[in-house]
Chains A and B, each alone.
Chain A
Amino acid sequence: MKRWAPLVLAAILIVALCVRLVPAFSSPYPYNVDGYPLVKGAERAISDGHWDIGNAAEGIERYNAKMPLFSYMLASLSVVFGIEPMRAVQLLTALLGVVAVLLGYALAKKVSGSETAALACAAVLALSGFFVYLTAAAMKEALGLALLLLAFLLYMGREDPKHRMLLAAVLLLLPLAHHLTALVALLFITIAAVSSLVNKWRGGVLKAHGIVQEIALGPALLFFCLAYYQAINMEFYTNVSSVNEIALFGAIAFLGIVVGIILSLPAMTKPWMFLDLKPGKMPVPMLFDEKTLAVLIGIAGIALNSRRVLFQGTLLTSDALLAGFLPILLMMLVAIVGYNLIRYSSFADKGAVAAMALAPIAIMEFSVARGLDPFSFSLAYRAFDYLDPFIALGAGVGIAFLLALLWKRYRDAPAKRICACFAVGAAFVLVLAATTPLAYESEQLFGVRNETLPQEFSAGEWASSHNLTEVRTNSRYYEIYSPYFGMSCDPTLPYVLKEGRNPGTAPLLLSDEWTADGAQSFFSTRVVVSQASFDSAVGGGSLVYCAGPAGRQMLIVLPG
């Protein structure tokens, strides 16, 4: 390790921690409503002293109790440091994010052997907006991503039995952390293991115990995961466990394995690979191949969708989101260069690197092929998150290659080469920093507010303390009050008010924000309620609670 590297790494980790703690300054509550059942789970763990799925209330809380690892980590942190789980959750998530960044550094170092590539990879994970969001929002996925990066790293060092056994332990833990991450990890391990075995077979070094080791301590662990989810009747698992779905998933996984094998073999399918170039020269198509086209088409699709709706029923891409995609496009192009360098190098585990991308892509393909329903939609967009480690690794290698190229080109002009490398490095950091705000601007970008305002939480506390066990509200408040305060919530109130229907006899929990910005409703856009309907609902009962500034006011109305 170069002398300056630890300092740079420490700086990156500190920055990573700071950018993940930014939401804590605007609200002390979990950044993202998914955090409430996790906090509840931690509080229940502390009070019960043990894990019992049956103790959790039906619904969101029980669903989260089936994957208790995050809640138990939160409970441990809370007990050890004496901080309430509600206050500790943002810190824990940020720390998990920092661990993920550190693991990304180690992974890139292991793959490339380059300190620059490893630091660049860590910088991508530390600053890239979408990854910052994933590892700042209180979600099981944040823990899942950290464990996934650990699994990637351990797999690359699997020749060491200690790494191999630790990898098996991580794979066994993942189903308790997050179901989709467990699926991604097992797909990764399957694709990587099969391509590794094929390469050994081609090289004539395949041995029986090698096959047993790769399979038994890799894909075979899938059966433990399936058995656990079957035993606890895991919600999303039951959605995809019919024969048709399993057959479709199997077919797509098989295709993923085939592509993984192809990507781990010498690239004889590209005409430019046979050009007789001078030593050290690389043909441009080697660095920017057909993968570039896929990225450009994707970004062009998003740009087009900002002007006209490409898919009926979806929203226009906001200008803010579109602007955020420009730096992402640049990062993706660098990542393609980086991946192609790995692909065409003599690196032995090319199949494993490809599997890092193929696993989430296979899940996206599965979700599109199984049907265009809300479950598929959520599966597809969540699977995108798992491409981040692969992109970070590619971008790290790509930027290290570019810097090395400049360093060698200006070997006779030290001042120039320092300036050139500094300019490229600074531009890279600026591009990354330009994506960071995406982590906090979900309201402007997607119409989804992640932080909980104090009056929103207080309204729940008030309702709970006054024994309101049943309320009618929107889906955002449903996600907060149902798991945390144990209220029975009907999340359809904005639709009822929009259509001018009678809101019924349950107490209403609503916000005056609904008449201006709309009520946040999961899967649909914000539902704007007319002032007349809103006034009618408020005037039709007794207003018993009102808190917060105008435009963000929380109201509780009792019927009659």
Chain B
Amino acid sequence: MIIDRKAAFIGLMLCSILFAVSVPLLVGIGEIPEKAFGQDVVTLSQVSSADPLKADIAYGLKGVQGVQAASPEIYSFCAIGQEPVFVRGVVVEEYLKIENGTLSPGSLNETWRFAVAGTRLAKRMGVGIGDKIVLTGSVIPKVVEMDITGIYSSPNGGGNDLLVPLWVARGLSGIGDGMVHAIRVHASNLTAISAYLEGTEESLVISQGGGVSTPINTNTSASGTETQLALRYLDSATFKASNGSYVSLFVQEGTENVNVVVGGFIALEGTLTFVGSVAVMSRVLAHRRKEIGILSAIGATRWKILGMTLYEALPVAVGASIIGVTIGGALAVAIDQFGLLVMFGQSVVPVFTLQIIIMMIVSMVTISLGAASASAWAHASARPERTMHESGEEAVQQKAFDLRRSLEAED
């Protein structure tokens, strides 16, 4: 037997577990901005942050043909204790329609003073109906104490937010009475919405999925008084080119930039897995150096030894990858369930698709077999009279050179 199957299996399985835990979670991080602000809805937002939208527009939109729900929203990044929380000022009924969400049994049907936590947030914070929470202002000094009046769940991967009334959110985010940051609309007739909005003579921007923005009643020039904290970072040509829609821009820029980071981490993770798997297979074969030497001595060619190695390595690699990916996937789900990984106030939901699972298993198997081949070839290429008599460690130690001599100019 050329390969120490037990050692190879354990090593490769550990690499697979790390790979399978991190990749779905990293992909999940990439989807957070879209989940928080975007999804399959139309978003209305102001031309620049200095001119918030009137919440009345949302109430007027409900009478427009094809509009199923219009949710006026205010966004505030807060902290409860040490936990980052995304607080969303909403009209609960409209918000739940947009998100296809439902209130859990026991939730109070409050419309004036409520704090409705998403299921994921409630789990992460360990709070339930009736518990008290203290919210602090995100951009202005403000403290609000509230009771949790309900728990909501959403099938769209939501359930990370804390829903509060618009008046509370205004206090936390510092925007004026009757104003909101954005209105999200579930509608089948965009033309009717545009026609209605043109009639309001309000300057705003309609944003759809894919970064398509339509300005209404505006020449789209950005106002020079962009005072929102977030827009300090977006005071750029990109911002102006987006017709000044900061929600649309948040989704686009956020997704794009998070994807750059996520892509980078996946590449890093892949490299680490590659290095780890190569190290495991190399070490496993180094322990069989003498056996490989004996095979060479009795006439086995390099190709024969390579074939034998691959024959033995294949089932080990496939088995370790499948079991590792399964365990890793389970760990990723557990991390999600216990809310252990939170970014931007949102619990990260791992993404498992068939392509991702197949990609992880195929990568692991390919890397393992490649590493096994390289190591087997190196051992089989050495002179059998040496390999028969030395272990892998002895071979490496004998190769260790004298640093001083190698740096000396004299021969």
Which A residue sits closest to B267, measured CB to CB?
A297
Q: How many residue-residue contacts, CB under 8 A, span A and B?
A: 120
Which 3 A-B pairs give the minimum distances between C-beta atoms? Answer: A269-B279, A276-B382, A114-B407
B201 at the binding interface (Cβ < 8 Å): no
A313-B374 CB under 8 A given contacts A271-B282, A274-B382 = no
Residues of A within 8 A of B404 (CB): 112-114
- Rounded to whole Å, the gap between the CB of B136 and the closest CB of chain A is 16
Please name all residues of chain A whose beta carbon is closer than 8 Å to the beta carbon of B285 when the two chains form the complex.
271
| Chain A residues in 8 Å Cβ range of B280 | 269
Jot down 13 A-B pairs with beta carbons below 8 A, ordered by A: A111-B403, A112-B404, A271-B374, A272-B378, A273-B399, A274-B286, A274-B289, A274-B392, A276-B383, A312-B257, A344-B400, A401-B407, A404-B406
Q: Which of B257, B401, B407 has the most CB of A within 10 A?
A: B407
- A325 interfacial contact with B, CB 8 Å: no
Other-chain contact of B282, A269, A347, A524 (Cβ < 8 Å): A269
B7: shortest Cβ distance to chain A, in Å? 12
B253-A312 in contact (CB<8A): yes
Minimal beta-carbon separation of A470 from chain B (angstroms): 22
B203, CB-defined interface residue at 8 Å: no
Contact of B396 among A117, A273, A312 (CB under 8 A): A273
User: B227 at the A/B interface (Cβ < 8 Å)?
Assistant: yes
Q: In whole angstroms, how far apart are the Cα atoms of A341 and B289 in the complex?
A: 24
What are the residues of chain A within 8 A of B395 when measuring CB–CB? 273-274
Per-position binary interface string of chain B over residues 272-310, scored 1 when its CB falls under 8 Å from any chain A CB and 0 otherwise: 000100111011011001000000000000000000000
| B56 contacts A by Cβ under 8 Å | no
Docked-complex contact A271 and B378, CB < 8 angstroms: yes
Chain B residues with Cβ below 8 Å from A312 are: 233, 253-254, 257
B397: chain A residues at CB < 8 Å are: 266
Min CB gap B284→A, angstroms: 10
List, in ascending order, chain A residues with CB within 8 A of B227's CB: 499
Majority SS at the chain B contact face: helix
> Is A346 within 8 A of B403, CB to CB?
yes
Bound state CA distance, A210 and B225, in angstroms? 68
Closest to B377 in A: A271
A46 to B282, CA, bound (A): 63
User: CB distance A266 to B406 under 8 Å?
Assistant: no
Q: What's the Cα separation between A309 and B253 when bound, in Å? A: 10
Whether the pair B371, A271 counts as a contact (CB closer than 8 A) is yes
Contact A342 B392 (CB under 8 A): no
Tell me the smallest distance from the CB of B262 to a CB of chain A, in Å.
12
Interface centre among A111, A293, A301, A312, by most B CB within 10 Å?
A: A312
Enumerate chain B interface residues (CB-CB to A < 8 A): 225, 227, 232-233, 253-254, 257, 260-261, 264, 267-268, 271, 275, 278-280, 282-283, 285-286, 289, 371, 374-375, 377-379, 381-383, 386, 392-393, 395-397, 399-404, 406-409, 411
Interface centre among A114, A268, A282, A344 (most CB of B within 10 A): A268
Q: How big is chain A's contact interface, by range?
A: 35 or more
C-alpha gap A411/B267 in the complex (Å): 45
Q: Are A268 and B407 closer than 8 Å at their CB atoms?
A: no
Residues of B within 8 A of A268 (CB): 282-283, 286, 392-393, 396
Q: Which of B233, B275, B286, B392 has the most CB of A within 10 A?
A: B286
Residue of A272, A345, A500 near B401 (CB, 8 A) is A345
Let me know if A401 and B406 touch, CB within 8 A: yes
Q: How far is the CB of B247 from chain A (nearest CB, A)?
A: 15
Query: Are the CB atoms of B403 and A112 closer together than 8 Å?
Result: yes
B283 touching A311, Cβ below 8 Å: no
B409 touching A403 by the CB < 8 A rule?
Answer: yes
The smallest beta-carbon distance between A1 and chain B, in angstroms, is 14
Complex Cα spacing A267 to B399, Å: 10
Q: Are A411 and B403 in contact (CB under 8 A)?
A: no
Would you list which residues of chain A between 403 and 423 have a CB under 8 Å from chain B? 403-404, 407-408, 411
Q: Give the CA-CA distance A524 to B403 in the complex, in Å.
A: 47
Select one of A266, A297, A341 contacting B403, CB under 8 A.
A341
| Residue A56 CB within 8 A of the other chain | no
Let me know if B283 and A269 touch, CB within 8 A: yes
Residue contact A117 to B407, C-beta cutoff 8 Å: yes
Other-chain contact of B411, A274, A309, A411 (Cβ < 8 Å): A411
What is the CA–CA distance of A113 and B402 in the complex, to the nearest angstrom? 10
Contact of B271 with A290 in the complex, beta carbons under 8 Å: yes
Which of the residues B279, B283, B289, B378 comes within 8 Å of A275, measured between beta carbons?
B378
By a CB distance below 8 angstroms, the chain A residues around B260 are 310-311
A397 interfacial contact with B, CB 8 Å: yes
Q: Cβ of B396 and Cβ of A290 under 8 Å apart? A: no
Q: Are A269 and B278 in contact (CB under 8 A)?
A: yes
User: Bound state CA distance, A276 and B296, in angstroms?
Assistant: 14
State in angstroms the CA–CA spacing of A297 and B271 once bound together: 11
Q: Which residue of chain A lies nearest to B258 when distances are taken between CB atoms in the complex?
A: A312
- Taking the closest CB of chain B, its distance from the CB of A22, in whole angstroms, is 33
What's the Cα separation between A117 and B268 when bound, in Å? 33
A270 at the interface (CB under 8 A from B): yes
Instruction: For the complex, give the distance between the alpha carbons of A499 and B227 in Å.
Output: 7
Q: Does A189 contact B (CB under 8 A)?
A: no
